[in-house]
Amino acid sequence: MPRLFCVALVLASGLLLGLASGASAQTPLDVDPYREAASRIIEAALADSAAYDRAAYMGDTFGHRFSGSQSLEDAIDWILDEMRADGLESVRGQPVMVPAWIRGQESVLMTHPRVEPLAMLGLGGSVGTTAAGVEAEVLVVGSFDELTARASEAEGKIVVYNVPFTSYGRTVAYRTQGAIAAAKVGAVASLVRSVGPVSLSTPHTGTMSYEDGVPRIPHAAITVEAAAMLQRMADRGEAPRLRVTMGATTAPDRLSRNVIGEIRGRESPQEVVVIGGHIDSWDVGQGMHDDGGGCVVAWEAVRLLHDLGLRPRRTIRVVLWTNEENGLRGATTYADSVGASGAANTQLAIESDGGVFEPIGFGVTGSSGVFETLKPIEALLAPVLAQEASQPIGIVSGGGGADIGPLMRQGVPGVGHRTANERYFWYHHTAADTVDKLDAGHVQRNVAAMAILAYVAAEMPQRLPQGE
């Protein structure tokens, strides 16, 4: 179906459903009917450390959960078994073909002005090198503009992007687009200063892109420390040289699965509140803040509602998408599988993919009225939200997530789970995104917040309006 027509249809059905509910889109929800349920949810969530324990067990037992890896599929098998044991309904693995990039042995060796191995991580999707590697003098630049200005110096060199972290969105462009820009000016490889605000000699991996018609050159991340050193050496005219060796290969796509489980709605089971995170991670660390913790929080929120016997009007469906990191195949497969009618029947899509630190609320994106309707729910969340934070506490306007993006683009209201995540990019895509970075108390409070929002959205009488 052409996208524009599809969106129009969805918008129309959303408007009709909104009108059919009899409630004005602008009417703030009366949350009094949900106060008792919210209290029970909070009490149950804070009674033990079940969610934290599951996240820790998953991280420790399976390690990373990279697309194409056996450890991801083992973790998925375990979750499916556990969800069935939890008593969730319609528990299933939804098949998804995912990319299989394999890192292999890799290194960056400084060969001049002295010999020293530099900590590094190849970037997902990069081509490899021969076993001898690629050795060349470096050209250190601080921006794409500088690369353009110095294009004549790049031929045969290894481009090093020494770009300090400002915001993720701005800085990550050098990771995703760096190899293309470097290859266009004749570089033989490119390296990016790791995308993070704090480094303890910490390489950050992540995905990267090539462009048709542009040579595919090896692309990897080095540490902030190494990039800064190469910059100083270049500034002193010492012409540093590096040898980049990467065994990276891309195998044929492999079978993975989205993990799905439900509490079937008691009145309108075809209407669905989707809640989830992405079960895949990068191939280092344990992927706890990104996004194992988010998955477990969403899953445990639904398990808790089930245990409390809270079966709402609509279906609550936990979806743990696969392959968010380097393909988004899980998200597109899920959206394709429900189709336009499924999107039209999706009351709300909630994603947790910004870390599981102290909960501060949710961010809402939707057509006029969605935010105003949901805003009063923050009164129910207050007992588990932070008392102080550097970001606004409560339900704010604006938010979402990569995995619910395909639904949101069809008009489904989207919600991003928000936590006090100032340190998120310290750990992001590194060996340090591990269980110890989770706080058990925070995890349990996030479970309560997610459960309350999902329950109220599934129980409230009115449909939320769809459309942009």
> Is residue 56 a contact residue for its own copies (CB under 8 A)?
yes
Single residue of 38, 50, 62, 415 touching its own copies by CB under 8 A: 62
Q: How far is the CB of 444 from its own copies (least distance, A)?
A: 17
Buried b / exposed e over 121-151, threshold 16 CB at 10 Å, is bbbbbbbbbeeebbbbebbbbbebeebeeee
> Is residue 199 a contact residue for its own copies (CB under 8 A)?
yes
For 430, list phi and psi in degrees, rounded to 5: -125, 170
Hey, which residues does 138 pair with through a beta bridge? 158
The residue annotated as part of the active site, out of 73, 324, 351, 378, is 324
Q: Nearer Cβ to its own copies, position 121 or 348?
A: 121
Distance between CA 351 and CA 282 in Å, rounded?
18
Which positions from 262 to 291 touch its own copies by CB under 8 A, shown as an x/- string? -----------------------x------
Site for its own copies in 324-363 (CB under 8 A): none
What contacts 114, CB < 8 A, 6 or more positions away?
Answer: none
Hey, which residues does 116 pair with through a beta bridge? 110
Q: Which two tokens stand for residue 339?
A: 């189709």
CB-based burial label for 111 (10 Å; 0-12, 13-18, 19+): middle
Distance between CA 317 and CA 270 in Å, rounded?
11
Single residue of 160, 192, 335, 435 touching its own copies by CB under 8 A: 435
Measured in whole angstroms, the distance separating CA 457 from the mean position of its chain's CA atoms is: 23
> Is residue 84 a contact residue for its own copies (CB under 8 A)?
no
Q: Please give the single-letter amino acid code of residue 336.
A: D
> Which of 222-230, 254-262, 329-337, 411-419 is the region at the interface with its own copies (rule: CB under 8 A)?
222-230
Distance between CA 56 and CA 71 in Å, rounded?
15
Q: Active site includes 324?
A: yes
> Which of 113-121, 260-268, 378-386, 446-454 is the region at the interface with its own copies (rule: CB under 8 A)?
113-121
> Is residue 63 a contact residue for its own copies (CB under 8 A)?
yes
Q: How far is the CB of 229 from its own copies (least distance, A)?
A: 6
> Is residue 191 a contact residue for its own copies (CB under 8 A)?
no
Active-site residues, by number, are 324
Q: What are the residues binding its own copies (CB under 8 A)?
A: 56-57, 59-63, 113-114, 116, 119, 198-202, 224-225, 228-229, 232-233, 236, 285, 426-427, 430-432, 434-436
